[in-house]
Amino acid sequence: MRAGIPNAVYAMTKAGVVMLTKALAEEWSRFNINVNAVAPGYFSTPFVEDRLRDREMYNTIVSSTPLGRVGNPEDIMGACVFLASAASSYITGQTLCIDGGRTVL
């Protein structure tokens, strides 16, 4: 997020997805259905391409990401495959942040 850019609706809906994930995990557990979410950080997508083209904004994003870069598809694919596999059979109601460490700051 960036100061001066309206983020209230985006923040509210992102929080809503986190809570919906928890609620559905509890409700659907009796059907042996696991519900998890993936919360990506900055990835090079059309949604953020204008921010990434702005050199100052790009530098701000990268400097506030502990791993020092924006994400690429390979960074998210493994986590999604894991969550869709039997290896995650005892994980439910979780939101996995794939953000290069931005949420630890």
pLDDT category at 3 given cuts 50, 70, 90 is low
The domain locations on the chain are 8-100
Instruction: Decide if pLDDT at 2 tops 80.
Output: no
Share of the chain above pLDDT 70, in %: 95
pTM: 0.85
**What number does CATH give the domain 8-100?**
3.40.50.720
Q: How far apart are CA 104 and CA 97, in angstroms?
A: 10
DSSP 32-48: T----EEEE-SBSSTTT
Select which of 10, 42, 58, 90 is catalytic: 10
Q: Which two tokens stand for residue 101?
A: 């460490």
Q: What's 93's DSSP letter?
A: S
Is 10 marked active-site? yes
- Beta-carbon contacts of 22 under 8 Å, excluding residues fewer than 6 positions away, are 93
- Ranking 26-30, 42-46, 68-72, 91-95 by mean pLDDT, the lowest is 42-46
